[in-house]
């Protein structure tokens, strides 16, 4: 009898201590969702930083390099940049289509289609690289001088990317890739030079996650912009900021600051209106810069 009671007690203790299959499944889903949200936040932070802090400088370097080319070389390079940009946009659209269709595809079908898209993209880019190599070889010394002269700046950018990654606490497979423009700062000298030559100066559009802490896998205190799309003005709201002055900035997708205004954070809340009259139709990014950090959100201006 005693042995049976001990055995029954042990079973009950194990039942209480070990989570059920349903609990483990819910916990796993929550972890995956939080990882996805963290990765989206990392992408948003990297994109906002690249747009405002890196892209303008890279454009200056590119313009200086292009000025030293012959008319024929410049025409060839502009054509290759246009082709590379078209390929990247095609891949982006294909990836969006697959994302929308993933509920209708099984895992093997989705993997096969992803592999097909990547293989086609790789083959097309290899053809462009083959045409680019002679030009890069001709101006190898100029490219080396450009990167050697600005080595400290490039190293500082790379360190900032690593710092953002560390702070994001990135985890799990499938969440390790940064936005495409980050590739300009990665790789060895030759790889970076080729990407630099083919860069079209644009920051690819993407869904931007507003900056904010995560709670239960969901963004907390995001930056909200409404109406969006906007025509004449847009309300900008968020919470959880440090009290004091804040700067509201609007950037186009080239990283150019096109509108700026100031507001005051009171009781942790920001609620202001920014004029959008005079902005050309298209995609923009609204950024709120307060004493405790920056939050960003996309803005679309109607025709």
Which DSSP string do the residues of 5-57 spell out, in sequence order?
HHHHHHHHHHHHHSPPHHHHHHHHHHHHHHHHHHHHHHHHHHHHHIIIIIHHH
| Residuewise pLDDT in 10s, the chain (303 residues) | 444 444 444 443 444 445 555 555 666 656 767 776 777 777 777 778 888 888 889 889 998 999 999 989 988 888 888 888 777 777 777 777 777 766 676 777 778 888 887 887 888 889 899 999 999 999 999 999 998 999 899 889 888 888 877 766 544 434 444 445 556 666 677 888 888 898 877 765 543 333 333 333 334 457 788 888 888 899 999 888 889 999 998 887 666 788 999 999 998 899 999 999 889 988 888 888 887 777 777 788 887
Torsion over CA: 214, 215, 217, 221 (sign)? negative
Length of the chain: 303
Beta carbons of 30 and 172 less than 8 angstroms apart: no
| Assigned architecture for domain 221-301 | Sandwich (2.60)
Q: 280: which residues sit within 8 A by CB, 6+ positions away?
A: 301
Q: To which residue do tokens 């454009």 refer?
A: 59
pTM (2 d.p.): 0.55
Q: Where in the chain is the domain with CATH 2.60.40.1930?
A: 221-301
């Amino acid at each position: 009898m005693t042995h049976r009671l001990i055995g029954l007690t042990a079973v009950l203790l194990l039942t209480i201590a070990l989570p059920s299959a349903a609990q483990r499944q819910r916990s796993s889903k929550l972890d995956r969702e939080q990882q996805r949200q963290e990765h989206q936040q990392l992408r948003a932070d990297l994109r906002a930083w690249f747009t405002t802090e890196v892209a303008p400088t890279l454009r200056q370097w590119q313009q200086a390099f292009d000025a030293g080319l012959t008319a024929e070389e410049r025409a060839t390079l502009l054509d290759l940049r246009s082709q590379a940009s078209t390929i990247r946009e095609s891949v982006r659209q294909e990836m969006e289509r697959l994302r929308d269709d993933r509920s209708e595809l099984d895992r093997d079908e989705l993997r096969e289609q992803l592999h097909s898209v990547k293989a086609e993209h790789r083959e097309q880019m290899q053809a462009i690289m083959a045409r680019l190599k002679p030009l890069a070889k001709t101006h190898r010394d100029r490219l080396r001088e450009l990167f050697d002269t600005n080595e400290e700046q490039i190293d500082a950018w790379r360190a900032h990317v690593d710092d953002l990654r560390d702070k994001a606490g990135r985890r799990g497979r499938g969440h390790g890739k940064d936005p495409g423009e980050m590739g300009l700062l990665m790789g060895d000298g030759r790889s970076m030079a080729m990407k630099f030559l083919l860069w079209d100066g644009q920051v690819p559009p993407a869904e931007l996650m507003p900056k904010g802490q995560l709670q239960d896998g969901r963004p907390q205190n995001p930056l909200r912009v409404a109406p969006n799309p906007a025509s004449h003005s847009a309300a900008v709201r968020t919470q959880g900021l440090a009290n004091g002055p804040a700067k509201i900035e609007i950037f186009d997708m080239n990283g150019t600051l096109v509108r700026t205004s100031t507001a005051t954070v009171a009781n942790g809340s920001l609620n202001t209106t920014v004029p959008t009259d005079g902005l050309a139709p298209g995609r923009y990014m609204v950024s709120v810069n307060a004493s405790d950090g920056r939050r960003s959100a996309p803005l679309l201006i109607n025709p």
